[in-house]
Every structure is written in structure tokens, then in C-alpha cells.
Amino acid sequence: MTFERKHLKNIKNYQPGKPIEEVKRDLGLRQVIKLASNESPFPPSKATRKALIENICRVNRYPDSQGYYLKRKLAANLKVKPGNIILGNGSDELIVLALRAFVDPGQEVIVGNPTFLIYEIQAKACGLRVVRSRLKDFRYDLDDIKRKITKKTKLIFIANPDNPNGTYLKHEEIQSFLKAIPRKVIVFFDEAYCEFSPEDFPKSINFLKQGYNMIFTRTFSKVFGLAGLRIGYGIAKPELIRSLDKVREPFNVNSLAQAAACSCLNQKNQARQTVRYINKEKYFFYEGLGNLNLRFVKSATNFILVDLGRISSKAVFSRLLKKGIIVREMSSWGFKNFIRVTVGTHSQNRRFLKALSLSLNH
């Protein structure tokens, strides 16, 4: 006997990267590094830790449902109004809210293939039809997306930069795309990795001010190192934000997350230092992977998609795991014999490259 709704039958659960403690328990290891989930290798700063400690005594009270102070800090940084912003329990939650708020039964959602798996999983969980658009050379094919738009299309998800490919769309490409699609279609731009991107990354605020029906989301999980607190935010026209708020749980972002995020916005120099460090280490990775004669996708993020050629990615993943190194094996995305590795500290990256070399020649 089954109790779940019929449309859930064929949905596969999202499998996150293995936690460090789980690998330690299962394999009896004392030292494990995680390069699987695109997290920051650095803990929160002293200032952010201080903000967390100062707010611990307040957790007997519900958090500010509207995130008054955080929204105003974000609005000042982004040069928008607080009414343009919604806070989320990680930017992942905003994906679910957009589906609930805007897509009626019988309407369609377009996603890239392969891209961040949550778009398709959550759309199917809502009982919606998902239309896939194949990527071209590891990049979104905007012309193909336009061809797939029908009268039933309501929402398009575009990760920019993309996960797991690490590529990005430029300002002019998105501008042309937005001009060409029907105004009834909402485009959801997931910009979780935007801080790592080059100078020609799209100025999304400009699109917003031009009146397009779009939502773009960002997160404190990556460059700011708050993945464990689950806090992100979305920016859109006020009428779209009001609709999202109707389906949002009233206390979706906890008070510690709000305090930590406010603190992070006061530390722009630290964020820039983190980006510089990661970008420098990314080139160290490129050199190391090249020395191993492996192909990879140059990335505008803090991770790299690596092609192992004819070598089994599942075997390499298992060998690395036994050496205490967690990466992502990419068969769930449809990438045969690929792994995705997060850029860590220099010592972690050196350890990974050495272990990878041994695992390839096992």
C-alpha cells in the first residue's frame, strides 16, 4: 500500500554531497576533506561569529518574519527598494515558492539539461510538466529555449553561472533573450555563484529596472560561508515579491541567519579576499588537471567539472572517498565519467590532486 500522491512515484530524491562526519563514521577515517558541495572552505569571520553569539540569547523568540534590517541592508547594496526583496531559507526555498506562486496545473516549466537538479525535482513534486532544453558546449542554448516556449510555458529556470557546468551567460545574451520571449513568461535566474564571475557578468538589476518579468536569487552560502544557516534572497518587481510572500512560511529565515547575513554585508573586503583566493586556486587546479591530461570546463564559480575520459567516475569517487576526500560523482546529471570538485584551501587542493593522480592510475 502506498499513501503518496501518484505524481511523486517517479521522482528521485536529491542526493546531496556526503557529510564529513558520515564518511568518518562509515570508513573509520580521522581526517576527511569535503570538496563536493561548493561550500566555502573558510568558516565565518570573527565579526560574524560575534553577531551569532550576541543573538543566541534571543532564540526564545520567533525571528522577524519580514527581515526588516537585512532587507534594508540588501536594498542599499543593490540600489533597489526593500519591496523588491524576499528572503529565503537558502535560495533553494525560493525555487519552490516561485513554482507554488506562479505555475498553474497544466502549465509548463522549462529547465536546462543538465543543470541544478532541484528545478526539475521540485517542479515535478508540484505536479507540473517539465520541458528540458539541452545545453550546448556546457552552456545554456537560449535559442533552443525560445523554440520550446509554448502557450503553456509559465516559468523558465536559468542558473547563471550554471551548476554543475560552471559556465555563464553574458549581459547581451540575456538582454536579447528577454526581449524575444512572451511577457507572460517569468524567467528565474539563479545567481548563487555570481560573486565569483568575471566583469562581463550580467547586470541583473538593470533588467529588473527595465520591467522584465524576472526573479533573480542569490545566497549567503557560497562566498560568505553561511551554508549551514540556510539563507538566501530573491529580487524582483514588487508585484512578484507580493505573490511569493503569499506562499512563504511566516518564519522561514531564522534569527541567527538574519544576524549573520547582516554582519556579512558589512565585510565586503573579506568577501573580495575570498573570491581572489578561490580564483587563484582555480588556476592551480587547471594546471594540475592539465598535468594529469584531464579535460575540464573552465568555471565562473568555485567548482570545476572534470572529464575523466574512459575512467569510471564511480570507481574514482570510491577511491577518493577511501582516501578521505569527498567529491561529487556526476552520473545523476547524465555526465558519464565526470566528477565535480569544489575549490578548497591550497593544502586541500594539493591533497586532492595527489589523491586523484593515484586514483586514476589505480
Predicted local distance difference test score (pLDDT) of residue 15: 80
* The C-alpha cell that represents 223 in the structure block: 562566498
Cell numbers describing residue 49: 561569529
Which segments of the chain belong to CATH 3.90.1150.10? 6-43+269-360
* Inter-CA distances, 10 with 13, 108, 280, Å: 10, 18, 42
Taking 90 as the threshold, does the pLDDT of residue 62 lie above it?
A: yes
Return the axis-axis angle of helices 313-322 and 20-27, rounded to nearest 10°: 80
- Tell me: pLDDT of 351 over 80: yes
Q: Residue 110 pLDDT more than 80?
A: yes
Residue with cell 565562473: 300
- Tell me: pLDDT of 328 over 80: yes
Provide the pLDDT for residue 13. 81
- Residue 314: the pLDDT is 96
Tell me the pLDDT tens digit for each residue of 281-322. 999 999 999 999 999 999 999 999 999 999 999 999 999 999
In the chain, the percentage of residues whose pLDDT exceeds 90 is 91
Residues 257, 44: contact at Cβ < 8 Å?
A: no
CA–CA separation, 92 and 81 (whole Å): 22
The larger pLDDT score, comparing residue 149 to residue 1, is at 149
Predicted TM-score of the model (pTM): 0.95
For residue 278, what pLDDT is reported? 97
| pLDDT top residue among 162 and 12 | 162
Is residue 230 within 8 Å of residue 5, measured between CB atoms?
no
pLDDT at residue 41 above 90?
yes
Q: What is the average pLDDT score of the chain?
A: 95
Cell triple for 308: 575523466
Q: CA 86, 91, 94 angle in degrees (round to 5)?
A: 60
Per-residue pLDDT averaged across 255-267, rounded? 97
The CA distance from 239 to 222, in Å, is 28
At residue 164, the pLDDT reads: 96
For residue 7, pLDDT over 90 is answered with no
3-state secondary structure of 251: coil
359 Cβ neighbours under 8 A, 6+ residues apart: 315, 316, 319, 320, 323
Q: Which pLDDT value is given to residue 353?
A: 98
> Which tens digits make up the pLDDT trace of 23-32?
999 999 999 9
User: d(Cα 112, Cα 43) in Å, to the nearest integer?
Assistant: 32
What gap in Å lies between CA 121 and CA 336, rounded to an integer? 20
Q: Is the pLDDT of residue 89 over 80?
A: yes
CA dihedral 278, 282, 284, 285 (to 10 degrees): 130
Sheet strands side by side (includes 328-329): 295-297, 303-307, 338-342, 328-329
Per-residue confidence band for 361, with pLDDT thresholds at 50, 70 and 90:
confident
Question: Range(s) for CATH 3.40.640.10 in the chain?
Answer: 46-264
Q: Where are the beta strands (DSSP E) in the chain?
A: 33-34, 85-88, 108-113, 129-134, 153-159, 186-190, 214-219, 232-236, 295-297, 303-307, 325-326, 328-329, 338-342
- Tell me the C-alpha distance between 21 and 2, whole Å: 33
Q: Are 341 and 352 in contact (CB under 8 A)?
A: yes
Q: Which CATH number describes the domain made up of 6-43+269-360?
A: 3.90.1150.10
Which of 3.40.50.970, 3.20.20.70, 3.90.1170.50, 3.40.640.10 would CATH assign to domain 46-264? Answer: 3.40.640.10
Q: Phi-psi bin for 139: left (phi > 0), alpha (psi -120 to 50), beta?
A: beta
Q: String of b and e for 315-342 (b: at least 16 CB within 10 Å)?
A: ebbebbbebbbbbbbbeebebebbbbbb
1 has a pLDDT exceeding 70: no
pLDDT of 265 reads 96
Residue 36 banded pLDDT, cuts 50, 70, 90: very high
Is residue 3 pLDDT above 80, yes or no? no
CA distance 160 to 104: 25
pLDDT of 10 reads 80
Note the pLDDT of residue 18: 86
pLDDT tens-digit map of 182-226: 999 999 999 999 999 998 899 999 999 999 999 999 999 999 999
